[in-house]
Chains A and B, each alone.
Chain A
């Protein structure tokens, strides 16, 4: 499981930034639940097939969206009632922090590989380029302390070639998977 049930010692769960983030999430959940409730209500009730009115396809999605709507409202009310001095500032700082930037760069690299390189280039080459770029970016630019290019380059190149070759060979030859 991902979230250990350990006591929230730092009180991070109710930090001002988290309270404000909860408010934004609550608004999103309310909008999502309302849209899904509308979708469930207007969903085809298959009257032409004379199905029982209690078995319409929109029944359970409707109930679930109502449940999410209630949870969203409770979350919103709770976020509004809890004091959160400097919450918006802290939240803004968290979103623009170095940590968020690092996660953003990982995401950009992953998306460039998945949506751009895969399909455009042969899979082994796309994979090699991704591994090479990932290692170089995170070892020579975003690492603390940074590694020198000379130190990183052989590793990045070697791993890129090895990953591209091994993954392609193992999946295409041993597991007979047609790679993208």
Chain B
């Protein structure tokens, strides 16, 4: 415990340099602007900025990317409140109460509460990250090849289920497509090239960064530009900095939403939007003012913003300890970490424990920056919202091209970006979630290698995959998740419980 505290203080001290503080300031501000601009998401921002941080020292590069991620999730709230358009999908729940508050002439209060809730949500997640990650990393040291196979499958299945609640089948299909993409190129067990069709560029497989830039960049540009609707900014001149009583009035909701958001973050591939919706739903269920939700409830706004921001540090828990991305943006961060020679996974706490505490410190600093920028830069951020998308999207596409080209300097990666952009756009239009697809690309190799390595170790006997305790538990969760997504099965299971609870009442 004391070691951890010492390392946390070390992490904070490590970034108390002018260069680090400067990087924290511009990266967080850029993140807020990216989040505030409709059509630019946190994942797209982080993916595009990987290129700009390529030549930086590893700690400064990760610092910038984390600040952009954290800032963008917060920045989306500004657009949700003032324009009724979520700046990022994570802020969709914020729109429900944030915009009605703005219409009531309380835009300042809504922006202030969104800022303080985001900060508090991140702090709750940071505490969980500092406490849970070392324990999880230690437990993960006991994981073998069998457990990692199931974890990879679990990530894709649970992400498919939770990001497509209305239609898990589409979530599963997206996940399988992602895993299939990962099968292209050189496999790691026997160094055999699969599905390359003689194309040299496919030999090393499909890189995650161009694929992500396409799926979250070009696809988003196509999605934004196809719409003609224009929104009107609703603002008011009321006070932005909230009173302490206004922040603490719903402390239970803040705490609950922070815990829910953190938990959602820990679940692989389930991002900030689910964190916000889950927190919002839980707050509405337990609120004494449930009738106000959707009509400008401060509690609803607090729940949504605390929930989505807590996901950011929560998502870093599996990302750092298991190399399983907790969200789509965290998947890009994993790729960026590998580029900079940082290997997330169970050995991280053994090889370089300071990385975890440095990330905790970065999140603390970025939270402070969010508070300062969020509460002071109200007018400049209004100007950002007025940027016409016709002008913005042209520049964003140029950045997509440069961003996917710059890392390996191959035009092939630009073609990959365009291909993933088109496919991503079509899949989005047909309501297929992108998160399981991305998770599949990043986890495909882990799944493939560990399944075949496990079978090699046991000489073809699959029983350890089902009999080792942790493997068995994860396997059961996967089977249960898939079975429950079949309407006929879930209806029967629910009926069993309904009958069970109804019986005593009847007798």
A interface residue numbers (CB < 8 A to B): 1-8, 12-13, 18, 21-22, 25, 29, 36, 39, 43-44, 46, 49, 51-55, 57-61, 64-65, 67-68, 71-72, 74-75, 78, 98-100, 102-103, 106-107, 110-111, 113-115, 118-119, 127, 130-131, 134-135, 138-139, 143-144, 155, 159, 163, 167, 171, 175-180
Indicate whether B358 reaches chain A with its CB closer than 8 angstroms.
no
B55:A106 contact, CB within 8 angstroms: no
Indicate whether B474 reaches chain A with its CB closer than 8 angstroms.
no
A6-B277 contact in complex given A68-B173, A68-B177, A106-B221, C-beta closer than 8 Å: yes
Identity of the chain A residue whose Cβ is nearest the Cβ of B89 in the assembled complex: A4
B249 CB to closest chain A CB (Å) equals 26
Cα A175 to Cα B218 with chains together (Å): 23
Cα A107 to Cα B169 with chains together (Å): 29
Q: Most A CB atoms within 10 A — which of B183, B411, B456?
A: B183
Q: Kindly list the 9 A-B residue pairs having the minimum CB-CB distance in the complex, ordered from nearest.
A: A1-B271, A134-B394, A54-B455, A2-B434, A103-B226, A3-B433, A138-B390, A4-B273, A60-B448
Identity of the chain A residue whose Cβ is nearest the Cβ of B161 in the assembled complex: A5
18 contacts between A and B (CB under 8 A): A1-B163, A1-B435, A3-B433, A5-B163, A5-B277, A7-B165, A7-B166, A25-B430, A51-B190, A55-B455, A60-B183, A60-B447, A64-B183, A71-B169, A102-B225, A144-B228, A177-B402, A178-B409
A127-B89 contact in complex given A52-B456, A100-B226, C-beta closer than 8 Å: no
B176:A159 contact, CB within 8 angstroms: no
Interface SS of chain B: helix
B414:A180 contact, CB within 8 angstroms: yes
A130-B398 contact in complex given A64-B183, A99-B228, C-beta closer than 8 Å: yes
Contact among B89, B190, B398, B401 with A49 in the assembled complex (CB-CB below 8 Å): B190
A114:B414 contact, CB within 8 angstroms: yes
A55:B189 contact, CB within 8 angstroms: yes
Cα A142 to Cα B349 with chains together (Å): 54
B228:A102 contact, CB within 8 angstroms: yes
Interface SS of chain A: helix
Per-position binary interface string of chain B over residues 66-96, scored 1 when its CB falls under 8 Å from any chain A CB and 0 otherwise: 0000000000000000000010011011000
Indicate whether B471 reaches chain A with its CB closer than 8 angstroms.
no
Indicate whether B492 reaches chain A with its CB closer than 8 angstroms.
no
Identity of the chain B residue whose Cβ is nearest the Cβ of A102 in the assembled complex: B226
Identity of the chain A residue whose Cβ is nearest the Cβ of B448 in the assembled complex: A60
Q: Which residues of chain B come closer than 8 Å to A159, judged between CB atoms? A: 391, 394-395
A3:B163 contact, CB within 8 angstroms: yes
Contact among B51, B92, B169, B415 with A4 in the assembled complex (CB-CB below 8 Å): B92
Identity of the chain A residue whose Cβ is nearest the Cβ of B329 in the assembled complex: A1
A64-B455 contact in complex given A1-B89, A74-B169, A167-B402, C-beta closer than 8 Å: no
A22:B173 contact, CB within 8 angstroms: no
Known A1-B89, A60-B447, A131-B398; 7 more pairs at CB < 8 Å: A52-B456, A55-B456, A59-B452, A99-B226, A111-B418, A118-B411, A171-B406
Q: Which residues of chain B come closer than 8 Å to A114, judged between CB atoms? A: 401, 414-415, 418
Q: Which residues of chain A come closer than 8 Å to B51, judged between CB atoms? A: 171, 175, 177
B370 CB to closest chain A CB (Å) equals 20
A110-B397 contact in complex given A53-B460, A100-B226, A179-B402, C-beta closer than 8 Å: yes
Q: Most B CB atoms within 10 A — which of A51, A163, A175?
A: A175
A31 CB to closest chain B CB (Å) equals 13
Indicate whether B21 reaches chain A with its CB closer than 8 angstroms.
no
Cα A35 to Cα B394 with chains together (Å): 37
B447:A13 contact, CB within 8 angstroms: no
B92:A1 contact, CB within 8 angstroms: no
Cα A126 to Cα B457 with chains together (Å): 55
Q: Which residues of chain B come closer than 8 Å to A2, judged between CB atoms? A: 41, 89, 163, 216, 328, 428, 433-435
